[in-house]
Amino acid sequence: MLKRYLLAPGPTPVPAEVLLSMAMPMIHHRSPDFLPILEAAKKGLQWLFQTKNDVLIICSTGTGGMVGSVNNFFNPGDKVVVVNGGKFGERWTKICQAYGLTVEEIVVDWGYSIKPSAVEAALKKDPSIKGVFVQATETSTGVYHDIEGLAKVVKNYPETLFIVDAISALVAQDIKTDEWGIDVMIGGSQKGLMLPPGLAFVSVSEKAWKRNETSKMPRFYFNFKKERENLAKNQTNFTSAVTLIIGLNEAINMLRKEGLENIFKRHATLAHATREAVKAIGCGIYSKESPSNSVTAIEAPQGIDGQQIYKNLREKYGITGAGGQDKAKGKIFRLAHLGYADTFDVITGIAAIEMVLKDLGYPVKLGTGVAVAQEILMK
Q: Binding residues for a second copy, per CB under 8 A?
A: 4, 6, 8, 10-14, 16, 19-20, 22-29, 31-33, 59-64, 67, 71, 94-95, 98-100, 188, 190, 196-198, 217-222, 238-244, 314, 320, 322
Give the chain's largest Cα–Cα span: 63
Nearest approach in angstroms of CB 250 to a second copy is: 12
Nearest approach in angstroms of CB 314 to a second copy is: 7
Closer by beta carbon to a second copy, 58 or else 376? 58
Closer by beta carbon to a second copy, 13 or else 131? 13
Closer by beta carbon to a second copy, 116 or else 196? 196
The CA-CA-CA angle for residues 322, 95, 57, to 5°, reads: 75
- Which region holds residue 157: left if phi is over 0, alpha if psi is between -120 and 50, else beta? beta
Nearest approach in angstroms of CB 302 to a second copy is: 27
Closer by beta carbon to a second copy, 20 or else 121? 20
Q: In 3-state terms, what secondary structure has residue 276?
A: helix
Closer by beta carbon to a second copy, 24 or else 121? 24
Strands (E), 110-160: 131-135, 137-138, 143-144
Closer by beta carbon to a second copy, 60 or else 113? 60
Helices 343-359 and 368-378: angle between axes, nearest 10 degrees: 170
Question: Which H/E stretch holds residue 40?
Answer: helix 35-49
The answer to whether 240 touches 29, Cβ cutoff 8 Å, is yes
Nearest approach in angstroms of CB 5 to a second copy is: 10
Nearest approach in angstroms of CB 36 to a second copy is: 15
Q: In 3-state terms, what secondary structure has residue 55?
A: strand
Q: Identify the sign of the CA torsion 151, 96, 203, 199.
A: negative
Nearest approach in angstroms of CB 186 to a second copy is: 13
Nearest approach in angstroms of CB 237 to a second copy is: 8
Tell me the β-bridge partners of 164: 134, 185
Closer by beta carbon to a second copy, 61 or else 294? 61
The CA-CA-CA angle for residues 199, 323, 270, to 5°, reads: 70
Question: 9: cis peptide before it, omega within 30°?
Answer: no
